[in-house]
Amino acid sequence: QEQLVESGGGVVQPGRSLRLSCAASGFSFRSHAFHWVRQAPGKGLEWVAAISFDGSNKYYADSVKGRFTISRDNSKNTLYLQMNSLGAEDTAVYYCARDHSSGFYDLWGQGTLVTVSS
């Protein structure tokens, strides 16, 4: 079945880096754009970044621009989020989500928790 599985979350000190991965299976990964969406504890959903199907176009929320980098490896069916200069405000569950092609998200991963704390 179609599935997205995130990994790479954990506890990290402020100012450090972390890389998240999202492994896709059960569908044609290279045919879709993907997004990262995060959710701080007890809060709502916040779009973080997006990447086109071929990786040629990338977009970022202002809150992460210059610190986070989204990328993909279509040969490995995997999406990535490189997060640098992490701060407490980045503490959240990070979800990868598949773009249906119109801009809404029709498949979500289970999420991976990132905690930024000293």
Partner 1 sequence: EIVMTQSPATLSVSPGERATLSCRASQSVSSNLAWYQQKPGQAPRLLIYGASTRATGIPARFSGSGSGTEFTLTISSLQSEDFAVYYCQQFNNWPGTFGQGTKVEIK
Please, what is the minimum distance in Å from the beta carbon of residue 95 to partner 1? 6
3-class state of residue 90 by DSSP: helix
Can residue 105 be called a binding residue for partner 1 (CB under 8 A)? yes
Q: Of 109, 110, 111, which Cα lies nearest the Cα of 9?
A: 111
Q: Does 89 bind partner 1 (CB under 8 A)?
A: no
Query: Does 45 sit near partner 1 (CB under 8 A)?
Result: yes
Helix (H) or strand (E) holding 12: strand 10-12
Under rule CB under 8 A, residue 47 binds partner 1: yes
Member of 80, 90, 109, 114 binding partner 1 (CB under 8 A): 109
> Are the C-beta atoms of residues 36 and 95 closer than 8 Å to each other?
yes
When asked if residue 113 is in the footprint of partner 1 (CB under 8 A), the reply is no
Q: Looking at beta carbons only, is 72 or 98 nearer to partner 1?
A: 98
From CA 33, how far away is CA 37, in angstroms rounded?
A: 13
27 binds partner 1 (CB under 8 A): no
